[in-house]
């Protein structure tokens, strides 16, 4: 029975991530089509609407917003809107969590985390996987950091939290691991697949 159960779990581990990914893409496409399709149908002459125009319009809207957010005035207006949202108790928590989740996996955030390292924070031989997030302290308040110190972020498994330690460089050992591999390893508590993705 245990062999059968292991085979089932192996199959589930292959199917579930693919199924969830396909479902999320389907949900995004149908939502974009339902929300943006009717206004497009209304604007176009009869017979010119093609299914999928809502999805294309959604993509173009997000792309356009990204381009507009590069402009100073638009970025300031968006930050004002965002700060207004952050004053509403329940919305502040929900919006802030979603923003942090999306931002955590952004390219800019991964550039901030410059190096994958192993640290021994307690000096007892137990090592933890971390990411160097800062090695230059001139813009930080006095007393936080120093010439021979680095900030290392230690993510927690199965959560979007972690700890930041300020350690001497000598306690930090760089390792040859890509950021994506290290993040997958940390977030899944080391059970992520070894195969290249």
Which range has the worst mean pLDDT, 15-29, 34-48, 155-169? 155-169
Question: Where on the phi/psi map is residue 61: left (φ > 0), alpha (ψ -120 to 50), or beta?
Answer: alpha
If you average pLDDT over residues 32-61, what whole number do you get? 91
pLDDT tens digits along 62-79: 999 999 999 999 989 999
pLDDT tens digits along 89-140: 888 888 887 887 676 666 555 555 668 888 887 777 888 888 888 777 777 7
User: Is there a contact between 145 and 151 (Cβ–Cβ < 8 Å)?
Assistant: yes
Q: Give the confidence band of 57 by pLDDT, cuts at 50, 70, 90.
A: very high
pLDDT tens digits along 158-178: 666 777 878 788 888 888 888
Residue 196, φ and ψ in degrees, nearest 5: -65, 135
Domains of the chain: 2-104 (no CATH), 112-187 (2.30.30)
Task: Give 93-156 as a DSSP string.
Answer: HHHHHHHHHHHHTSHHHHHHS-EEEEE-TTSSS--EEEEEEE---TTSPTTS--TTEEEEEEEP
pTM of the model as a whole: 0.53
150 strand-pairing partners? 167
């Amino acid at each position: 029975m245990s062999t059968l159960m292991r085979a089932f779990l192996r199959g589930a581990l292959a199917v579930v991530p693919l199924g969830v990914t396909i479902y999320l893409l389907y949900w995004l496409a149908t939502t974009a089509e339902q929300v943006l399709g009717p206004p497009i149908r209304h604007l176009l002459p009869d017979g010119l609407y093609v299914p999928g125009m809502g999805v294309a319009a959604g993509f173009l809207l997000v792309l356009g917003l990204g381009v507009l957010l590069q402009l100073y005035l638009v970025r300031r207006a968006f930050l004002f809107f965002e700060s207004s949202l952050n004053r509403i108790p329940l919305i502040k928590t929900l919006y802030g969590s979603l923003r942090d989740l999306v931002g955590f996996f952004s390219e800019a955030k991964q550039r901030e985390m410059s190096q994958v390292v192993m640290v021994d924070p307690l000096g007892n031989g137990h090592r933890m996987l971390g990411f160097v997030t800062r090695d230059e302290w001139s813009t930080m308040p006095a007393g936080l950091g120093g010439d021979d110190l680095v900030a290392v972020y230690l993510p927690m498994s199965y959560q979007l939290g972690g700890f930041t330690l300020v350690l001497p460089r000598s306690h930090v050992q760089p390792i040859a691991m890509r950021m994506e591999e290290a993040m997958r390893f940390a977030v899944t508590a080391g059970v992520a697949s070894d195969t290249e993705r």
